[in-house]
Amino acid sequence: MNEKSMPENTQKSDYLNYSFEDFLQDDFFISSVNEPSEESEIFWTDFQNRKPDNIQEYILAKQYLQSIAVQADPLSDDEISHMWNNISSHREENKKHKRGKLLFITIAVAASIAVLAISFPFLSNIFSDKNTSDIVAYADKNKVEVPDNSEIQLVISDNKTILLDEKEATITYEQNEIKTEKGVLEKEESVTIHQLIIPKGKRSVLTLSDGSKLWANAGSRVVYPSEFGKDKREIYVDGEIFVEVAKDASKPFFVRTKDMSVQALGTSFNVMAYESDALKRVVLVSGIVKVETKESKGAILNPNTMFQFQGGDEKIIPVEADAYISWIKGLYLFRNERLEVVFERLSRYYGIQIQCSPDAAIIRCSGKLDLKDNIEEIMKGLSFDGKIIYSQEGNVYKINKVQ
């Protein structure tokens, strides 16, 4: 059998109502992406030329499959048998899908088998109930308040907390040890779940055990395991992070927050989800992520798009992603942003109190701030155009609109 051939009676109209998930469960679509033939190329070119309503779902599903780069070794008969048993079991649990087909027509090609075997855990987890997450339960039960001004705290056990006084602390998890600027710790000295607490006015760079690298912004709390499990990687965030996810097709990467769940596979994105703020954002720089909230089944983002969530209202907006991750380089870029949001972020960056009057809060502005400047220089720059004035009373800055 030619595994690339189109199934009999297959029509382009069969795919017009397909979702992202449906495409990822269709054997002909998957084989067309992984091993395109002249026949399949013609079929999908014609499909795209029809400009169907679900063209974005098609593109994202194709991008996802292409993002799984696997160098396949031949599988043994036992491995093939075990894989198909797992897939058959999963099919029985998911008969509700309108197309309950196996992901491939044949197992004759070793590379196709390897892609299926490795990507299958991701597909089975993509719609998992985020409310059952162990990391969320732990973060809720072991909540640590983020202090206004103090050292960065690395909590590695109930009775051991490492205090780091650097303005931007670097922490690296390696196979058997944890490296900080205070020295090296053996992982054996710690418990399974760790917490990183970043006070206002400070930041941290954290390299996780899988090689994923994240930047934690001021006023943030990150909860994560010292070693990830076998089937998934997940962390919890109250605050803002930018993360570059290390590729591992067998272990999807989840960022959980109080109101959202973000799933990625070898990608980079920014999450802003302070529990004290109503506004939550996810901005994708590269790759593909899926964002879920308690109110929605999920949204799939492609690069340079932002998922915004506030008070039950969800939006997907095209953006220039670099502007939203400039803080990791010590810059703050903002475009048509409310002054209220700008000053909230500056309050965290500098570890100070800023009070903004209601009429000044709604003013929109654009600009670029160098966060290495002191707060007085920042205030002078923001008030330069004469729309606002500022005053300082003790440790509090007060912002008012010029009347």
Rounded distance, CA 212 to CA 234, Å?
Answer: 11
Question: CA-CA distance, 54 to 52, in Å (whole number)?
Answer: 5
CATH 3.55.50.30 fits domain 330-401: yes
Integer CA distances (angstroms), 31 to 35, 87, 106, 294, in order: 5, 17, 10, 34
- pLDDT score, position 12: 63
**Per-residue DSSP letters for 248-279?**
-TTS-EEEE-SSEEEEESS-EEEEEE-TT-S-
pLDDT for residue 173 = 95
- Please report which helix (H) or strand (E) contains residue 382, including its range: helix 375-382
User: What's the pLDDT score for residue 67?
Assistant: 60
Using CB atoms within 10 Å of the CB of residue 49, give its burial: 0 to 12 exposed, 13 to 18 middle, 19+ buried. exposed
**DSSP per-residue string spanning 7-57:** PTT--GGGGTT--HHHHTT-HHHHHHHHS--HHHHHHHHHHHHT--TTHHH
pLDDT number for residue 131 = 43
User: What φ, ψ does residue 156 adopt, rounded to 5°?
Assistant: -110, -10
Question: Which residues of the chain are in CATH 2.60.120.1440 domains?
Answer: 130-323
Task: State percent of the chain over pLDDT 90.
Answer: 40
Q: How many residues can be counted in the chain?
A: 403
Residue with token string 């043994």: 76
Domain with CATH 3.55.50.30 in the chain: 330-401
CA distance to 133, 148, 209, 297, per residue, from 155 (Å): 20, 17, 16, 34
Exposed (0-12), middle (13-18) or buried (19+): which is 92, by Cβ within 10 Å? exposed
Alpha helix ranges (H) inside 205-364? 321-324, 339-350, 358-361
State the average pLDDT for the chain: 80
Q: What percent of the chain has pLDDT over 70?
A: 78
Pairing of strands 233-244, 203-207: unpaired
Cα 78 from chain centroid (whole Å): 36
**Residue 86 confidence (pLDDT):** 45
pLDDT means per 10 residues, the chain with 403 residues, are 51 78 84 88 90 82 64 43 45 39 30 36 41 80 80 88 91 91 79 90 94 95 92 94 89 91 87 92 92 81 92 90 92 91 91 92 92 91 87 90 87
Per-residue pLDDT reduced to its tens digit, 117-172 = 333 344 334 434 444 578 999 999 988 887 766 899 999 888 888 999 888 999 99
Contact in structure between 261 and 292 (CB atoms under 8 Å):
yes
Architecture of domain 130-323 in this structure: Sandwich (2.60)
Q: Are 323 and 333 in contact (CB under 8 A)?
A: yes
